[in-house]
Amino acid sequence: MSDFNPPGVRPLVFAAGIVGAAGVALSAAEAHNGGAFTGTAATMLLVHAPALLAIGLAGRSPLLRLAGLALVVGLVLFCGDLLARDFLGHRLFPFAAPTGGMLLILAWLAAGCSSLLRSRP
């Protein structure tokens, strides 16, 4: 096994673990307490956790690592806003969820575009 450890790998792998754990915990909370938005937040987290893990482990491209960071920020805004509605009774701030959703879309586009760039040896 090589010691290849590009910058940005550990934080994204760590984020993948946190995102996955939060998704499982929120799935359980949704099953017990309901909540109109908790299930959606759980699903979003569980869908994106493997992507963050893959980016963290294989993300050699700076654009791909930036996409991983944008995924994390997008998830915090999108899921945070949904959960604030369920558990606090109000939004994080106006347009938090749409901003997070747009960041998620842009992050996926950046991840795809990173495959078109020539990688450095």
State the pLDDT at residue 4.
52
pLDDT tens-place string over residues 5-49: 555 568 999 999 999 999 999 999 999 887 889 999 999 999 999
Residue 4 lies in a domain: no
The encoded tokens of residue 79 equal 């899921």
pLDDT at 2: 46
- In-domain check, residue 39: yes
In a domain, 76, yes or no: yes
Residue 119 domain-assigned (yes or no): no
The full DSSP string for 14-30 is: HHHHHHHHHHHHHHHHH
Asked if residue 56 is part of any domain, the answer here is yes
Q: Is residue 3 part of a domain?
A: no
**Global confidence as pTM:** 0.86
Q: At what angle do helices 9-33 and 62-87 cross, to 10 degrees?
A: 20
Check residue 6 and give left, alpha or beta (phi > 0: left; psi -120 to 50: alpha): beta
Domain that holds residue 33: 9-114
**Residue 121 binned pLDDT confidence (cut-offs 50, 70, 90):** low
Could you identify the residue written with the tokens 């078109």?
Answer: 116
Indicate the number of domains in the chain: 1
